[in-house]
Amino acid sequence: MKQAKVRTVVATVFAAAACLAVSARPGAATKDTPIDRFVAMAPDSSDPGSASRIDIFIERWSSEQEQDNLREMLTRQGPGGLLLGLQNLPLRTGTVLTPGVGGGRGPRVFDRRPRNLWFARRIDTKEGRRLIIATDRELAFGEPELKWSKDFQFTLLDIRFGLDGKGIGKVASASDVAYNKHTKTFEVANFASHPSSLVDVRQEAFGRLPTARLTAIRR
């Protein structure tokens, strides 16, 4: 009985310490419980007909002040200012789980990879809902990393939903980001001319959350 009590106490202390360590890491959100979840499929350009699942977890929406600050940095300093602004944000807005990078060696190249999101806004328009998310990392969605230029140190994902609730997402580097005065947020410039990076995007109810999602709280 005493051994069981000791094990219980040790387990409790360990759990508390683990929680403290996670919450103390830089870039952690104010609360780790997602408020929205979206799933999508990322077509594999090297293997036509195949696609990988993408999970997007939103923990908070960016404030108007954060958006205004980023817009000002984009106006004053160009794409580099936008990247710097994202890197200076203290709290993440969520996490995206991307597929592993193909073309590598070893079993771990196919593991799903968590990436922090530092900007997230939702907009309702007459055409349907839009979801704008951004990170200071490249989101290759399974593409070989060697194809990505230095310009992709920043990634903005512009997802547009139809009235049926399904959407497509397109990726832009910092130089392809525009600010739309009508929607009052960022977007992929010349959206129609960009290839689709995500298809069949939809909001999904919360189920069992992947444990890997919690491993991306460091920059």
- Beta-carbon neighbour count of residue 201 at 10 Å? 23
The answer as to whether 126 is a domain residue is yes
Q: Confirm whether 194 is domain-assigned.
A: yes
Beta bridge partners, 161, equal 167
Share of the chain above pLDDT 90, in %: 36
23, part of any domain: no
The verdict on residue 6 lying in a domain is no
Specify if 54 maps to a domain.
Answer: yes
Between 130 and 32, where is the model more confident?
130
Asked whether residue 22 is assigned to any structural domain, the reply reads no
Spatial distance between the Cα atoms of 19 and 102, rounded to a whole number of angstroms: 34
Neighbours of 101 (CB within 10 A): 18
pLDDT of residue 16: 35
**121-125, 136-140, 211-215, range with greatest mean pLDDT:** 121-125
Strands of the sheet containing 113-117, edge to edge, are: 113-117, 94-98, 51-58, 36-43, 198-203, 167-172, 155-161, 128-135, 119-125
Residue 123 has pLDDT above 50, yes or no: yes
pTM of the model: 0.74
Q: Note the helical H segments in 36-172.
A: 64-77, 79-87
Tell me the average pLDDT across 13-42. 57
Count of domains in the chain?
1
pLDDT of residue 21: 35
Evaluate whether residue 19 is within a structural domain.
Answer: no
The answer as to whether 10 is a domain residue is no
**By residue range, what is the domain housing residue 170?**
29-216
